[in-house]
A and B are shown apart, each in its own frame.
Chain A
Amino acid sequence: MLKNYFKIAIAVLRRRKFFTFISLFGISFTLTILMVLTAFIDKVGNSKYPDKNRDRSLYIVQLEERGEKNGYTSRGPSSYYFLNKYAGSLKTPVKVGISSMFNFSSAYVNDKKIAINFKYTNADYWDIAEYDFLEGKPFSKVQVDQAAKVAVISEDTRTAYFGANQHALGKYVEVDNIRYKVVGVVKNVPITMFTFYGDMYLPYTLSKEDYRSKALGGSYTAVLMAASASDVPKMAAEYATAVSKIKVESKDYDKLYSFADPYFTGFVRIVLGRGSDSGITTFYLGLFIFVVLFLMLPAINLVNVNITRIMERSSEIGVRKAFGASSKTLVYQFVVENIILTLLGGVIGIGFSLLAIAFVNASNVIPNLELTLNYLVLLYSLVVCLFFGLLSGVYPAWRMSRLNVVTALKAR
Chain B
Amino acid sequence: MISLQNIEKVYRTDTIQTLALNRINLEVEKGEFLSIMGPSGCGKSTLLNIIGLLDLPSKGSINIDAQPTGNLSDKQLARLRNQKLGFIFQSYHLINDLQVLDNVELPLLYRDTTAKERRQLATAALEKVGLSNRVKHFPSQLSGGQRQRVAIARAIVGKPEIILADEPTGNLDSAMGNEIMDILLQLNREDGTTIVMVTHDPNMAEKTHRLVRLFDGSQVQ
Contacts and interface: CB of A to CB of B under 8 A. Distances in A.
A, B in one complex: yes
Contacts of A406: 49, 54-55
Interface string A311-355: 000011011111111111100000000000000000000000000
A70 to B, nearest CB: 68
Interface string A374-412: 000000000000000000000000000000111001001
Given A7-B102, A326-B75, A326-B78, A319 B93 contact: yes
Interface stretch (B22-30, B105-113, B173-181, B195-203): B105-113
Q: Which of B97, B107, B115 has the most CB of A within 10 A?
A: B97
Contact of A327 (B74, B89, B97): B74
Contacts of A4: 102, 105, 109
B75 A1 contact: no
B159 to A, nearest CB: 13
A322 B75 contact: no
Interface string B88-103: 0101011101100010
Contacts of B55: 404-406
B87 interface: yes
Interface residues of A, number: 27
B134 interface: no
A69 interface: no
A321 B93 contact: no
A412 B54 contact: no
B221 to A, nearest CB: 25
Given A315-B93, A406-B54, A324 B107 contact: yes
B109 A1 contact: yes
Contacts of A409: 54, 89, 93
Contact of A322 (B52, B74, B79, B115): B52
Contacts of B109: 1, 4, 325
Contacts of A329: 78, 110
A404 B91 CA distance: 18
Contact of A8 (B74, B93, B95): B95
Interface string A201-222: 0000000000000000000000
Given A405-B55, A406-B49, A324 B97 contact: no
Interface residues of B, number: 30
B158 to A, nearest CB: 8
A321 B106 CA distance: 11
Nearest to A318: B93
B64 to A, nearest CB: 14
A272 to B, nearest CB: 51
B147 interface: no
B6 interface: no
A405 B50 CA distance: 11
B102 A322 contact: no
Contact of A323 (B74, B87, B97, B98): B87
Contacts of A322: 52, 54, 81, 87
A404 B77 CA distance: 13
A15 interface: yes
A405 B81 CA distance: 12
A329 B81 CA distance: 14
Interface string A4-16: 1001100110010
A319 B78 contact: no
B144 to A, nearest CB: 15
B106 to A, nearest CB: 6
A328 B74 CA distance: 9
A316 to B, nearest CB: 5
Contacts of A245: none
A320 B74 contact: no
B110 A7 contact: no
Given A318-B93, A404-B55, A324 B98 contact: no
Given A406-B54, A406-B55, A324 B79 contact: yes
B149 interface: no
Nearest to B77: A326
A255 B159 CA distance: 84
B82 interface: yes
A17 interface: no
Nearest to B78: A326
B106 A15 contact: no
B154 interface: yes
Given A4-B105, A320-B106, A329-B78, 10 more contacts: A319-B106, A323-B82, A324-B107, A324-B158, A326-B78, A326-B110, A405-B49, A405-B54, A406-B55, A409-B93
8 contacts: A1-B109, A322-B81, A323-B87, A324-B83, A326-B78, A327-B74, A409-B93, A412-B93
Interface of A: 1, 3-4, 7-8, 11-12, 15, 315-316, 318-329, 404-406, 409, 412
